[in-house]
Amino acid sequence: MPDQLESPQPDAGVPEPEPWDRRRDRRAAALLFLIVGVVYLATATYSFVQVNDTRATAIAAWSLGTQGSLALPEVWAQEDTAIDWVREGADGNSYVARFPGAILWATPFYALAGLIGDTEVPEHPWLITFVPAGIAAATAAALAITLSFVLYRRLVDRRTAVAAAGVMALGTSVWSVSADALWNHGFTHLWIVVGLLYLTDDKPARGGLALAASVISRPQTAVVAAVLGIARAWERRSVRTLVIVGATSALGAVAMAVYTRAVFGTWVPTAGYGTSGVERVASTSGMAMGVRAWGMLFDGERGALLYTPVLLLGLAGGAVAWRRVPAWVRASAVAGVVYLAVQLRANGFDGGFHFFGPRLFIETLVLLSPLVVAGYALWIRGSKPRRLAFNALIGISVVIHGLGATVLTYSTDAERFLVERLAERCEELGVASDDC
């Protein structure tokens, strides 16, 4: 395999990773996808009691998949306030102003559900089925984890790569956020990993296209494409690589612009969000950045290092191993930090309300994970005290996100409010309480 870890020093105790075994590694990947997928499907959210962002995305996918149009049914016109991200489109109809990546991914799931179920428009948008959305989110997250295993095999042996993918799957917000509902993060995770795989295989066009796909799920990831493209071109001393990655990844921004123009009548590639985020990137002060960075790492509700404490030792291992890892691992980590800086300038660190743990750190976590895996292999694994401490932090992280995925997913106050709100509206519409 290309770009594997350099041979360790004699006292490091880290064996060379065995070459990719088509039969054994594929079997490990398939088994990983199956196990993680079952866990994700068992814990995903299948009701309207979820965050307004994911609920709105599911409603858009339902409309496209069962009604054949992104425009929301006219019967819901008086219910616009029930869909927090609804905007008037260029044609006067109502549309959901969410990035199209997750909507498009979930649409086939809704189309299939429509073939075997009822496609009648309910009286209220919250009365659609959210089961296909939950299945779509869990499937994307499980696939992202499986491909993460393939990426980690570029660095370490099969057993370690499976373990690393398992920690990513169950000890991080991938479980409690990405796999729970139709956030965009599962799809950015998936396409960033695909992009890294192709770039390390010296396939810049395919890598750029994968990163373009991440842009239509979350436009901020354009900076990831820029950093990875520049780093790979510098490593190869190849202007051609830079041009190819730049041109192909830019197609994501072009697709976003075309989509926004077609739906909302403007070429600004924000899918109806407006330009406030771009303005904040340019105007956020250094003081605000410091406060937001602290919150991203240590806030009681959103702190990445508090909710995923395995990162504390994992990042230390990565720092120790920094000079001994392949160039693409360092480029990935730098891209993660740059992405985080842009994210903090644009939106802060909290990412909204009524969900568990950090979500805006997920893309950075994905990009840092190869460095953490390499740090484990080159520094942590060779020391019994460090290894025991690392395993203990893994256990704590898994417990935290296991609770977040099963018990603490959404606040009881939010659930009570949403149930009461829908019940009141159903009563006004004359809908039977059992149907609500």
- Let me know: does 362 contact 189? Beta carbons within 8 Å: yes
What pLDDT does 10 receive? Answer: 35
Phi and psi based region of residue 142 (left: phi greater than 0; alpha: psi -120 to 50; beta: remaining): alpha
Q: Higher confidence at residue 426 or residue 19?
A: 19
What's the rounded Cα separation, in Å, for the pair 373 and 318? 8
What pLDDT does 350 receive? Answer: 87
Q: Does the CA dihedral 255-258-260-262 come out positive or negative?
A: negative
How does the average pLDDT of the chain come out, rounded?
A: 90
- Record the pTM: 0.91
What pLDDT does 80 receive? Answer: 61
**Is residue 9's pLDDT more than 60?**
no
Cross-strand partners of 94:
88
**Is residue 311's pLDDT more than 60?**
yes
**Is residue 198's pLDDT more than 80?**
yes
What pLDDT does 282 receive? Answer: 66
Percentage, residues of the chain above pLDDT 90 = 71
**Is residue 6's pLDDT more than 60?**
no
Phi and psi based region of residue 352 (left: phi greater than 0; alpha: psi -120 to 50; beta: remaining): left
pLDDT tens digits, one per residue of 140-170: 999 999 999 999 999 999 999 999 999 999 9
| pLDDT (average), residues 225-231 | 97
Rg from Cα positions in the chain: 22
What's the rounded Cα separation, in Å, for the pair 21 and 37? 23
Q: What one-letter code names the amino acid at 113?
A: A
Cross-strand partners of 88:
94
Which H or E run contains 88? Answer: strand 86-88
pLDDT tens digits, one per residue of 58-99: 999 999 999 999 999 988 876 666 777 889 999 999 999 999
What pLDDT does 276 receive? Answer: 63
pLDDT tens digits, one per residue of 99-138: 999 999 999 999 999 898 878 898 889 989 999 999 999 9
What's the pLDDT band for 19 if we cut at 50, 70, 90?
A: confident
| pLDDT (average), residues 227-234 | 96
